[in-house]
Amino acid sequence: MVAEIIAERILDSVKAKIKIFPCHVNRASSCGHPCERFLFYSRAKWNERALHDVSLQLIFDEGNIHEESVLSRLKSSGIEVVEQQRSFEWKELELTGHIDCSIIWEGKSYPAEIKSMSPHTFDTVNSVEDMVNGKYVYLRGYPSQMYMYLLMKGLETGLFILKNKVNGKIKIIEVPLDFEAAEKILKKLERVNKALKEKKEPERIEDADICIDCAFKHICLPPLQFSGEVGVGSGELVRLLEEKERLEAETEPFKSVEHRLKAVTDEIKKLTEGHESVIAGNFYLTGKWVERAAFTAKPSRYWSVKIATIK
């Protein structure tokens, strides 16, 4: 009984952090997003943004903990750390942001962003190119964020300090300012600012991998058009998807729900393996093979599935 009460209290404290805040400017952290309509909505319709779930909030909280850990390790190593969480503003572009810290090395200042990663992602990201060409949207946006900080500070090189969430290993990647890539971001922000002044929504992109996780997909107009195979797995797939949705909404994720959730997810993958897009009831699924490189284990591959509700 005591364990349940404590777990519920922890969950309530996490839920209390899930909020939407007003946004009236472009943010450096999201300027690398590939969809201009998303950037438009982030400002014009910020109050209609879908709230993220408890699982994602826990990831955010863990990121903050890892950031403090890295900062502590830098300082204990005798490295000069300044400008923690310093805010920046570029009025002409209506752009704001804040940098995790700056590192002073041999008289030079290097803006630094601290990112904690899963072991697999940590092992596969070894350069700016790995981020730009990464399969995750958030990874591809990291360099854009840094380019904006470098331009605002008038510097040529920044640093990404990466931490493996599991074993604590640290990896540091230098980020030289890419003027061509930065220019594309500036032009994009100018178009977004113009669209806001004219109150005209930019064209949306046609990319299910991005749209499926978008916090504004419920208001994106015209409605997202999903196309795919119907009837894969028949009613069993719909039943599993509905159960997965119910489990994810469970108010006590610290109990045995995770075991059943993993089992259901594995069953969904088996039913949809090899089908790149599937419509099942009120759900839309996209899937693809993901190759796993040979690091300490043999190379392999697994079927990755994304699920969106299209009610």
Contacts 24+ apart (CB under 8 A), 291-297: 292/120, 293/123, 293/124, 295/123
**Would you kindly state where each structural domain of the chain is located, as residue ranges?**
2-202, 229-309
pLDDT digits (tens, 9 = 90+) for 140-151: 899 999 999 999
CB distance 50 to 218 below 8 Å:
yes
Neighbours of 249 (CB within 10 A): 10
pLDDT digits (tens, 9 = 90+) for 110-157: 999 999 998 888 999 999 999 998 777 888 899 999 999 999 999 999
pLDDT digits (tens, 9 = 90+) for 237-270: 888 888 887 777 665 544 556 778 888 888 888 8
Q: Which CATH architecture has domain 2-202?
A: Alpha-Beta Complex (3.90)
Q: Which amino acid is at 108?
A: K
The residues with which 114 forms a beta bridge, in sequence order, are 161
Q: What is the pLDDT of residue 249?
A: 67
CA distance 260 to 242: 13
CA distance 49 to 219: 9
Q: Strands (DSSP E) along the chain, which ranges?
A: 26-27, 80-82, 86-90, 95-99, 101-105, 108-117, 157-164, 170-176, 229-230, 277-280, 283-292, 300-309
CA 33 to each of CA 132, 140, 145, 195, 255: distance values in angstroms, whole numbers, following the listed order: 11, 8, 10, 16, 35
Residue 228 in this model has a pLDDT that exceeds 70:
no
Helix/strand/coil for 1: coil
CA distance 224 to 204: 9
